[in-house]
């Protein structure tokens, strides 16, 4: 695992995660607890919806993406410590059997003026399925420490 600090990051850097295959039972279990809508729970009912089949909750997709980020080889000094989300889009649904992977791109780095030991990094994460279709695009602000706070 490689730990990165504010000084190690530059706009345009791209980090990729491993992949994860989403199973029907996981989609239904997440939905039952957190997003109990018919198109996440019942394959027969889901056929009559906009999706035409059972799909994962977007929040489940975000949770899987977070797990992929946290489990990746590239980590940030204090972890993926979020300071906010600028946008979150779900351009395509996730279906049972889809295999997801994520890419993180550093967009902007701003050292803090009031807290010299850290900065805010804007990161765009795009999660793709096995067909390279984006299923989640999220831009987040992350708090990243400096390696040498006085530098």
**Cα torsion 113, 151, 148, 4: sign:** positive
Backbone angles phi, psi at 69, to 5 degrees: -65, -50
* Strand ranges (E), the chain: 2-4, 14-21, 74-76, 81-89, 99-111, 118-128, 134-145
- Say which CATH number the domain at 25 has: 3.10.129.10
Res 150: pLDDT: 62
Res 1: pLDDT: 82
Q: Give a yes or no: residue 8 inside a domain.
A: yes
Res 151: pLDDT: 54
User: Residue 133's domain spans which residues?
Assistant: 2-145
Mean model confidence pLDDT for the chain = 96
Res 148: pLDDT: 79
**pLDDT at residue 27 greater than cutoff 70:** yes
What is the total count of domains within the chain? 1
Q: Quick one: tokens of 82? A: 């979020």
Share of the chain above pLDDT 90, in %: 92
Q: Give a yes or no: residue 36 inside a domain.
A: yes
**pLDDT at residue 78 greater than cutoff 60:** yes
Overall average pLDDT of the 29-42 stretch: 98
Instruction: Name, of 47-56, 78-87, 140-149, the range with top average pLDDT.
Output: 47-56
Q: Give a yes or no: residue 151 inside a domain.
A: no
Res 13: pLDDT: 96
Q: Give a yes or no: residue 150 inside a domain.
A: no
**pLDDT at residue 64 greater than cutoff 60:** yes
């Amino acid at each position: 695992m490689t730990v990165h600090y504010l000084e190690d990051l530059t706009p345009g850097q791209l980090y990729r995660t491993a992949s994860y295959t989403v199973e029907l039972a996981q989609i239904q279990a997440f939905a039952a607890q957190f997003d109990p809508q018919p198109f996440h729970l019942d394959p027969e009912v889901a056929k009559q919806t906009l999706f035409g089949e059972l799909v994962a909750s977007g929040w489940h997709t975000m949770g899987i993406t977070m797990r992929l980020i946290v489990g990746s080889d590239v980590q940030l000094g204090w972890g993926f410590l979020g300071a906010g989300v600028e946008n979150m889009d779900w351009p395509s649904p996730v279906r049972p059997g889809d295999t997801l992977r994520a890419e993180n791109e550093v967009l902007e780095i701003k050292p803090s003026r009031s807290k010299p030991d850290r900065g805010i990094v804007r990161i765009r994460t795009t999660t793709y399925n096995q067909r390279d279709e984006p299923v989640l695009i999220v831009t987040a602000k992350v708090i990243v420490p400096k390696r040498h706070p006085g530098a």
